[in-house]
Amino acid sequence: MSPRPHYANRRSDRGFKVPDEEQASASMLLSSLKTAKMKTLLSAVFVVLCIKAVFSADPHEHSKVVCFWNSTAYERQGPAKFQLEDVKSALSLCTHLVYGYAHINSNFEIVPGSPSLDTGSGYSYYRLATQLKRSFPDLKIYLSVGGNSDPYDEEHKYLVLTETSEGRTKFINSVNRLLNDYDFDGIDLAWQFPPVRPKKQRSALGSFWHGLKSKLGYGKFKDEKEQEHRDGFTILVRDLKAQLRPRFKALTLTVLPHVNSTVYYDARLLAPNIEAVHLFAFDQKTPERSPKEADFTAPIYASYGRVAEDNIDVAASYGDEGDNIDAAARYWLEHGTPGSKIVVGIPTYARTWKLTEDSQISGVPPIVSDGPGAPGPNTNEPGVLSYAEMCSKLTEHAAGRLRRVGDPSKKYGSYAYQSYNGETGTEGLWAGYEDPDTAGNKAAFVKSKGLGGVAIVDLSLDDFRGVCTGDKYPIIRGAKYKL
């Protein structure tokens, strides 16, 4: 009897032996299947990465024009009334539109700041704002929270929210619900941290009284848990971004005027989780904070020859000198934030002070003053003039015409003034303001430092009707064309 072929089936305690040819064929099939699966997996990963790259790529890496829209400007009367059609005429100049502002309720949930305007049946601006993408498909539209529009509360809800995971989770869940209802491209956190207190010159008696008031608890709020709030905010940003990232939604921050970045913003940990930080390094001097001294409101650099204590705000605000755009940007750059994520705020309005018989006749700042100037005819707010109101005071035949002083150094900004009239007793006026030239200087600074762009604050206070020169939005244009 011939021996059995070696491939013949035979029983064993391990089962049947598979013939070599079949085993080889199965191995080849298995290898092919593995290769096909691997190719499919790699293709899927490649597609996901491509999609992510498309959504994360920023076509305006160093040329962002972020236009802030204060929706409550709709409620102004007369020529200052700012409506949806006025917004549309600016959007060809903007890369991003930030709708402001949402608030936070006592339960730490995001809510409309102006319910009748934002979500009410009569207007529903949340929906109308996001529908602007139909006409401007490349425009990114964000909703901003806070922005100093949320009324002051003694509980300091913006701080308390950051203290617990429960508070942070409530806020994040409410953001998710809002984004389910309204198609915003992202959320901007213009968090209302406590502002730095203005430095005041006091006599010995005044210093004693100030110290007594501080001990008794009077005066502005002092945050006793700064580090806890800084850490809690960092966690909030991280966790919120984790929810927004799968939805391809952006997250940005806005540092409000007089908020100390070194205290509340851990730039190195925040940077990976945000698309941009908007630095509102303006309003460094305002007639409310510094009624007795008018000065440059939004300088690019520290004023030459002044020591830190003499500068516009306390030295700790943004580093060594704390009163200027350069110092604000340097803090974020030096703590790991890519330049392309840093966006410099440019105001579209003037800050004004009254001049008295004690004010220097030269008009050169800093200058003695006596509180806010008279309100403008349209904006109707003491100490503030829109750019349209401001430029009307510079025309040759204007009543109460102001003398304009430009900025050849391109460092500090323009100002204009009319001295106190000793013969008639008519008070004077001093105004620090932006115009197309100074806005262009700030944009040139942004470009020279490799930063991300400019933020226009806000649309409704630029000359949106074109009354100054015939061109609408001259400040936006002045900045955009220098980027």
Q: What is the DSSP string of 394-429?
A: SSTT-TTPPEEE--TTSSS-EEEEE--BTTTTB-EE
Contact 179, 247 (CB under 8 A): yes
Q: Where exactly are the structural domains of the chain?
A: 60-198+222-281+317-348+434-481, 349-433
Kindly give the interhelix angle for 226-244 and 165-181, rounded to the nearest 10 degrees: 40
Q: What is the pLDDT of residue 315?
A: 42
Could you tell me which of 389, 411, 408, 396 has the C-alpha nearest to residue 461?
389
Say if CB 441 and CB 346 are below 8 A apart. Answer: no
Q: Residue 395: what pLDDT?
A: 86
Q: Which secondary structure element, helix H or strand E, spans residue 83, and what is its range?
A: none
CATH assignment, 60-198+222-281+317-348+434-481:
3.20.20.80
Cα distances from 64 to residues 19, 94, 97, 146, 163, in angstroms, run: 69, 8, 11, 22, 33
Q: What is the pLDDT of residue 42?
A: 53
Q: What amino acid is encoded at 310 in this protein?
A: D
Instruction: Provide the CATH topology of domain 349-433.
Output: Chitinase A; domain 3 (3.10.50)
pLDDT score at 211: 43
Q: What is the pLDDT of residue 35?
A: 60
Helix (H, G, I), strand (E, B), or coil: what is residue 242? helix
Quote the pLDDT of residue 323: 83
Report whether 158 contacts 191 (CB < 8 A): yes
Angle among Cα 136, 138, 143 to the nearest 5 degrees reads: 85
Each of the 483 residues of the chain gets a pLDDT tens digit; together they read 444 444 344 444 444 454 555 555 556 655 665 565 555 555 544 544 444 444 456 788 999 999 999 999 999 999 999 999 999 999 999 999 999 999 999 999 999 999 999 998 778 999 999 999 999 999 999 999 999 999 988 779 999 999 999 999 999 999 999 999 999 999 999 999 999 877 654 434 444 434 433 333 334 678 999 999 999 999 999 999 999 999 999 999 999 999 999 999 999 999 999 999 999 999 999 999 999 999 999 999 997 665 444 333 334 444 434 689 999 999 999 999 999 999 999 999 999 999 999 999 999 999 999 999 999 999 999 999 999 999 999 987 777 899 999 999 999 999 999 999 999 999 999 999 999 999 999 999 999 999 999 999 999 999 999 999 999 999 999 999 999
pLDDT recorded at residue 329: 97
Question: Which pLDDT value is given to residue 198?
Answer: 76
